Amino acid sequence: MQLSSFSDRLSAPHWYWQEMESIWEQVNQLPEGQDKVVMSQLWQLGKTPASPTAEEFPALVAHEFLVEQLVDGRLVCRPVPPSLEEFWRVGITVSHAHGYRLQPHEAFQAKLQATLPLLHVVETSKNEQSHSPEAADLEPGKTTVKLAA
């Protein structure tokens, strides 16, 4: 998330809450069938340690959850919003009976509230890239919120 004068005043938990709510709303508005494909790819994205590719996650690219950008002469996918990779933990349930399902909003908010104490901020300065493993894929001058492992 790019810092601005408005977002500077927001706390990391507030950013994270807004991002998660936005993702939940986007998934909730998808047509039936497409929602299942997107949720399965969100689940997989959250469990994939490598940088995502458009070939691995075509539904996420099609619905603009992942955006392709040219970086150092190669195409890379960036999650939009940055905390997208964390959504599976609070927003999706999986069962043999129903497959991938979006958490009911009340249950989603309860899980989201429970995660807030576990958050930490990963930030890079405007002039240099962070060398921490958590920030390795962030652009300089960007901030994101991640769940502590």
Question: Cα Rg for the chain, rounded, in angstroms?
Answer: 15
On the question of a cis peptide bond just before residue 81, with omega within 30 degrees of 0, the verdict is yes
pTM of the model: 0.74
Measured distance CA(75)–CA(4) in Å, rounded: 27
E-strand ranges in 18-108 read 66-71, 74-79, 92-95, 99-102
Task: Summarize pLDDT for 78-108 with one digit per residue, the tens.
Answer: 999 989 999 999 999 999 999 999 999 999 9
Domain ranges of the chain: 5-147
Q: How far apart are CA 44 and CA 13, in angstroms?
A: 24
